[in-house]
């Protein structure tokens, strides 16, 4: 296993800053992430208030090349995540197109990309998560631990909590990608081909 962040120090300290920032938000005030950027293409109409301190939660904690898994912080961008996993000949099973999308954002916002026809959505390769809940609890969730929260967290858009750490599955890569252009002149032929590819995973 390759450790990229000193988990016992750096990650733990970042989690404590996050929890302290949560406790500092007055009761009844809206809770948001304290970050300047967003990949949501919609206007912001709500008042800008103090938010959760997510500084230091934007890296890869560790990569286990043997088990093909990685422990990743919630604010880690796919650009940084892929750069780390490629050094091991691995990549996330789904990589969204926008480089700045974070792993936590893709899971809670239901990301999708071209490999989804084969590997599903980003949350389907998440084995477990550490979630800071709306009640201020830090819970480790998975199929056998708080399974309702584990199942309901994808597509919750932060309404159920914030993902501090995610353990995800990785898949091996090859040096090159083969591309083939197939021309269609009728929409019905195109949709039939897509149906076949999704059903058989080949063309």
Which DSSP helix (H) or strand (E) runs through 13? helix 12-24
- Whole-structure pTM over 0.75, yes or no? yes
CA atoms lying within 13 Å on the CB side of residue 41: 1
Report the CATH number at residue 58. 3.30.465.10
Count up the domains in the chain and report the number. Answer: 1
Residue 99 domain-assigned (yes or no): yes
Task: Tell me which residue range forms the domain holding 75.
Answer: 2-178
**Residues composing the chain:** 203
Residue 52 domain-assigned (yes or no): yes
Amino acid 48: pLDDT? 56
Residue 116 domain-assigned (yes or no): yes
**Positions in the chain whose pLDDT score sits under 50:** none
Distance of CA 111 to the CA centre of its chain: 8
Residue 191 domain-assigned (yes or no): no
In whole angstroms, give the CA distance from residue 65 to residue 124: 19
Amino acid 6: pLDDT? 53
């Amino acid at each position: 296993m390759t450790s990229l962040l000193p988990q016992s120090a750096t990650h733990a300290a970042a989690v404590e800053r996050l929890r302290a920032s949560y406790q500092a938000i007055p009761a009844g005030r809206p809770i948001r992430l304290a970050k300047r950027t967003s990949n949501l293409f919609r206007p912001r109409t709500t008042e800008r208030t103090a938010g959760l301190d997510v500084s230091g939660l934007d890296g890869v904690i560790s990569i286990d090349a043997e088990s093909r898994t990685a422990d990743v912080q919630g604010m880690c961008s796919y650009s940084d995540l892929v750069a780390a996993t490629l050094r091991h000949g691995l990549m996330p099973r789904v990589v969204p197109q926008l480089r700045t999308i974070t792993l936590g954002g893709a899971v809670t916002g239901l990301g999708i990309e071209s490999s989804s026809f084969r590997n599903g959505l980003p949350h389907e390769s998440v084995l477990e998560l550490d979630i800071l809940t709306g009640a201020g609890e830090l819970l480790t969730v998975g199929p056998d631990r708080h399974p309702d929260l584990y199942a309901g967290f994808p597509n919750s858009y932060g309404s159920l909590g914030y993902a501090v750490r995610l353990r995800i599955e990785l898949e091996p890569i090859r040096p090159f990608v083969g591309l083939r252009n197939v021309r269609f002149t009728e929409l019905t032929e195109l949709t039939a081909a897509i149906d076949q590819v999704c059903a058989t995973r080949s063309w």
